[in-house]
Amino acid sequence: MASSQRGGAETPVPDRPTKRELLGAVRSFLEQELMPELEGVKRFHARVASNVLAIVSREIEREEPMLRGQHQKLAELLDETAPPPPTLTELALGVERLEAELARRIRAGEADASPRREQVLEYLAGAVRERLAISNPSYR
C-alpha cells in the first residue's frame, strides 16, 4: 500500500482501483457497451463472461470469512486442535486438507453411525449453500 504525506502526517493510500472495482468495470463494459452490439453466440459468450466476473467478485468478497468458518467447523468435526493458518492461501489449503480427511472418514463409513453424523450432514449442507451463494446467488 502506498502512503502520502500531508502536513507532516503520513497516511496510507489504498490501492485503487480494487480488484472488485476492476471486475465491476469490465462487467459494466460487457453488459452496457458490448452486449447490446452483439447477437447470437457472441452475445451468449459475453453474458457468460459477465457472469464469470460476477462469480469471481463474490468469491473475492466472501472467500476469507467462508474459509475461516469452514476451517473452524471442520476442525471441530475432526477434533483438530491446531489454530487456523494465518494466510489466505494456507487457510484454503488447510480447508482442502480437512475436507479430504472428512471425505476419507465418510467413505470409510465412520460418519454413518457416529454421534456426529448430524453435524457432518449440517456441515456439508452449509458448505454447499455457501458455494451456491457465490456461484448462483439466486438459487434457493
**Could you report the per-residue pLDDT of 119-130, keeping only the tens digit for each?**
999 999 999 999
pTM: 0.74
CA 55 from chain centre, in angstroms, equals: 9
Contact 77, 120 (CB under 8 A): yes
Query: How confident is the prediction along the chain (140 residues), in pLDDT tens digits per residue?
Result: 454 455 556 766 677 899 999 999 999 999 999 999 999 999 999 999 999 999 999 999 999 999 999 999 999 999 999 899 999 999 999 999 999 999 999 999 988 877 889 999 999 999 999 999 999 888 76
Compute the half-sphere exposure of residue 138: CA atoms within 13 Å on the CB side of its CA: 2
**Cell numbers at 28, concatenated:** 459494466
Q: Where are the domains of the chain?
A: 15-135
